[in-house]
Amino acid sequence: MYGTNMTVRKRLTWIFLLASLFFFILIGRLAWIQFVQGEELHNKALEVRLRDVPVEAKRGSILDRNGKELVTSISVDSIYATPGHVKNPREAAEKLAPILDMDVDTLYKRLTRKSSFEWIKRKVDNDTAQRVRELNLTGIEFVEESKRYYLKPTLAPHVLGFTGIDNQGLIGIEKSYDEELRGQPGRIVVEHDAAGRPVPEAIHQYIPPKPGYDLVLTIDETIQYFVERELDKVVAQYNPKFALVIVMDPETGGILAMGNRPTFNPNNWQEEPREVWDKNPAIWYNYEPGSTFKIVTAAAALDEGTVRPEDRFFDPGYIKVADRNIRCWKAGGHGSQSFAEVIQNSCNPGFIAVGLNTGKDKFYKYIEAFGFGQRTGIRLPGEAGGIVIPQKSATTLNLATMSIGQSIAVTPIQLVTAVAAVANDGMLMKPQLVKEIRYNGKTVSTIKPEKVRQVISRDTAHQLCGLLESVVAEGTGRNAFVEGYRVGGKTGTAQVVGERGGYVDGRYVASFAGIAPVDNPKVAVLVVVAEPKGGIYYGGQVAAPVFQAVVRDTLRYLGIPETPGLVKPKEPWEVETPRVEVTVPNVVNYPVEDACRAIQAAGLKYRTRGEGEIVYEQTPGAGARVNGGTTVILELQPVGKRKSGDPVTVPDLRGLSIKEAGNLLENIGLRLSPEGSGVAVEQSVKPGGKVAERTLIRVKFEPPRREPAKTSPEGGTVSRGQDKLENPYRD
């Protein structure tokens, strides 16, 4: 009996101990969950029953300098799904797909994903949103977002830029000021039960978004309109590769207008070719400025005292530098002339003599002081820095050619900033696009004009302005004359530098850089027209009239009083277009687009006859020597129209890659047998030869041989200054 009681007691003791241990374990576990894991588990519970819907902030507006709204944001609906709450995903996908113009299977995959939130389609129009609402589908809901809207789509799109689907800035001001414009997003927090239904009297929190700041630009809508109008005229008349105009306030560095062609509609940027909107030529295009750069040469020489306006020069039509003769654009030269007349006549030998007399050290001092070879700091994405031969590597020949705007590459924004410095008493200003940042209509930040450095003295600047006025009154810039106003400026005509170095025949950049009024400059303007068509390419003929129209309307709009008694030049500036002989390329059997490009690249015009995709005959024939601007007749025929058995004319394959040569031969019924790699240098059948269809053409390919060219980080090139220095076609 005693033994039995002891056994029972032992068992009860063990049970008590085990129960106590279990109890303490439960207490410990409860404490762990409550105090250690409590916050984490609480958040997980909220995630299960709370739905967090993002609320996009309204992006700030962009206004012109007078407060006119250029860019705003409008409210639109975006459609999203909670996949677990969609009752019949397949049926829902089939109903939604035709309304949203989406693929049924793609939509079905989204509706069946294991997630609590899936975008279906964002920023749809009102009609589409209403049609989806009428379906009344469970698990398909709406959230209000904002969509960027450009009120004047053709006005400065490269400057304003555009945004992506998440309202993030992608190019232009939209990108560079994205942080200021975007604001802070908000959210809606709603509690749901296990079936996905809102819980009455439950958590329903709205965290409002904070809208972005508004930007007030230096751009003037009216002046920008003048620029856009004249650019449209240039495109209609000359069909250039591209054209641009920049208008700057010399005193502040504020950009009053900046326009480019080709252009695009930022409201539908996805539908535009990428090459049109991807870069802003006004800030990234590296080009040889030609005679517009003579403003810098004159500024350096006058400021250093190397030359005075009355100093005499004799121009026999050329100047010998090292082993080269660099000719003047005027046959026979200008004879005896003062430096003032050298500027009026844009005389190459005169400017080269001045540049050489100034010396490399002093000349480079002003190149650097004016900001060439470095970014201006304008707050736009993608700015290039230009290309300048390092001073220690520059030869006497380089110095000579830089004096007339060759062997150096600048960007348009650099050049107009330098010209504005001359107009601003020699003070270089940093280019500016935004002058105020506002919130709820109140100014929160004012961006003041920024002085960079004093480049030339005040006296030199005034003297140079007077000399530039004589260019418009009596010299090559007469087509820029603005009735009633004293205007100064400089023309420029430069050949295009090829990708492999050297200059390209028949391709030019026409430009004009100027200021107005000369006695109290209010605007500095640069006009650049790249590769105009039609045989007219001088800056004084192509760009100067654009400057004249923009400046005339701008000064009148700004209310600048006219100067009475100004005498208009007797005759507009004209030049007899030199007769340049070029070789007609062989484009027989070329696709018509490629043939037209080859003809234009040679400095010729073209006219097509018939219909089709392939050129089967040309007049004049390949290899003929004709004057630049001659029209080549291209006879066309559709692919496959040639009768079986007719001989095939072999095209000129030299310079083409293996892929290009193979595609071309295949299109005309021939076969390629390549040897080597690179570009075609030899072919078994001479261009123009007749062979039977399916003939095998053996072509030898070699790596391209070319003189190294200076390459900028942005991809531009500039010649070394030793190619075609005798080119006379510059004003």
Catalytic positions are 291
Place of tokens 């040897």: 675
Place of tokens 């591209």: 242
Tokens of 381: 């994405």
Burial annotation 376-403 (CB, 10 A radius, 16+ → b, else e): bbbebbebbbbbbbeeeebbebbbbbbb
Reading phi first (left if > 0) and then psi (alpha if -120 to 50, else beta), residue 290 is in left
Burial annotation 305-321 (CB, 10 A radius, 16+ → b, else e): ebbebebebebebbbeb
**In 138-217, alpha helices (H):** 157-160, 172-176, 178-182
Per the CB < 8 A criterion, the answer to whether 684 and 699 are in contact is yes
| Residue 224 three-state SS | helix
Name, in order, each residue with C-beta under 8 angstroms of 333's C-beta and a sequence gap of 6 or more: 315, 316, 317, 318, 347, 349
Helices and strands (DSSP H and E) totals, the chain:
22, 37
Closest alpha carbon to 457 in 297, 254, 344, 300: 300
Per the CB < 8 A criterion, the answer to whether 513 and 415 are in contact is yes
Per the CB < 8 A criterion, the answer to whether 150 and 90 are in contact is no
Our measurement of the distance from residue 213's CA atom to the centroid of its chain's CA atoms, rounded to an integer in Å, reads: 25
Our measurement of the distance from residue 553's CA atom to the centroid of its chain's CA atoms, rounded to an integer in Å, reads: 26
Q: How far apart are CA 531 and CA 237, in angstroms?
A: 12
Name, in order, each residue with C-beta under 8 angstroms of 373's C-beta and a sequence gap of 6 or more: 367, 385, 386, 387, 388
Helices 348-358 & 294-304 angle (0-180, nearest 10): 40
- CA geometry: angle at 52 spanning 46 and 54, to 5°? 160
Closest alpha carbon to 402 in 370, 461, 341, 356: 356
**What distances in angstroms separate CA 374 from CA 308, 332, 402, 566, one per listed residue?**
30, 38, 17, 39
Tokens of 180: 């200021």
Tokens of 562: 């006219």
**What distances in angstroms separate CA 699 from CA 152, 681, 686, 687, one per listed residue?**
53, 8, 11, 12
The two beta strands, 214-217 and 62-63, are parallel
Closest alpha carbon to 324 in 417, 228, 399: 399
Q: How far apart are CA 612 and CA 639, in angstroms?
A: 7
Closest alpha carbon to 587 in 675, 537, 653, 543: 653
Measured between its terminal Cα atoms, the distance across the chain in Å is 131
| Residue 159 three-state SS | helix
